[in-house]
């Protein structure tokens, strides 16, 4: 079982530097792309795309005017971003090398939707990664 996307498993994190292209735009990380996907307005998407770090992209994603249907689409959008990330053969190989281990995005910042914090959470990020791994 992998319970944290740190150290040798950092490549599983959305903060891992792995450029992806969504709708013709290149984002430095999945986090940048995901947060930009929330934004209703192009200038806000561009601001997030150009953020100097995934952490800054995440903070900016909290203050943009959101697309009205983003909550309903966020799982599908994250899956799309992750599929782009794991088109990279090196990253796909690393994901496959996790075998059949359960992937849990353990965290200390209270994210119980995408991960697990203090033993509680839905672990949607881990689930999506395992789905993509199985399909690879």
The CATH number for 33's domain is: 1.10.357.40
Is residue 126 included in any domain, yes or no? yes
Q: Mean pLDDT score of the chain, rounded to an integer?
A: 97
Identify whether 100 is part of a domain: yes
Parent domain of 95: 7-135
The answer to whether the CB of 82 falls within 8 A of the CB of 132 is: yes
Residue 27 lies in a domain: yes
pLDDT-based confidence at residue 34 (cuts at 50, 70, 90): very high
pLDDT digits (tens, 9 = 90+) for 49-99: 999 999 999 999 999 999 999 999 999 999 999 999 999 999 999 999 999
> What is the number of other CB atoms lying within 10 angstroms of the CB of residue 122?
13
Backbone angles phi, psi at 123, to 5 degrees: 55, 40
- Give 36's pLDDT tier (boundaries 50, 70, 90): very high
In a domain, 1, yes or no: no
Number of domains forming the structure of the chain = 1
Query: Using alpha carbons only, how large is the chain's radius of gyration in Å?
Result: 14
Tokens of 48: 């997030």
Identify whether 2 is part of a domain: no
Tell me if 50 is assigned to some domain.
yes
């Amino acid at each position: 079982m992998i319970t944290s996307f740190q150290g040798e498993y950092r490549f599983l994190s959305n903060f891992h530097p792995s450029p992806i292209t969504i709708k013709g735009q290149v984002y430095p990380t999945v986090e940048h792309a995901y947060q930009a996907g929330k934004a209703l307005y192009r200038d806000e998407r561009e601001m997030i795309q150009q953020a100097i770090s995934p952490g800054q992209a995440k903070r900016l994603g909290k203050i943009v005017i959101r697309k009205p249907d983003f909550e309903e689409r966020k799982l599908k959008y994250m899956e799309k971003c992750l599929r782009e990330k794991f088109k990279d053969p090196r990253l796909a190989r690393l994901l496959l090398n996790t075998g059949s281990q359960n992937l849990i995005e353990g965290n200390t910042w209270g994210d119980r939707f995408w991960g697990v914090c203090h033993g509680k959470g839905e672990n949607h990020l881990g689930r999506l990664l395992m789905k993509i791994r199985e399909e690879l």
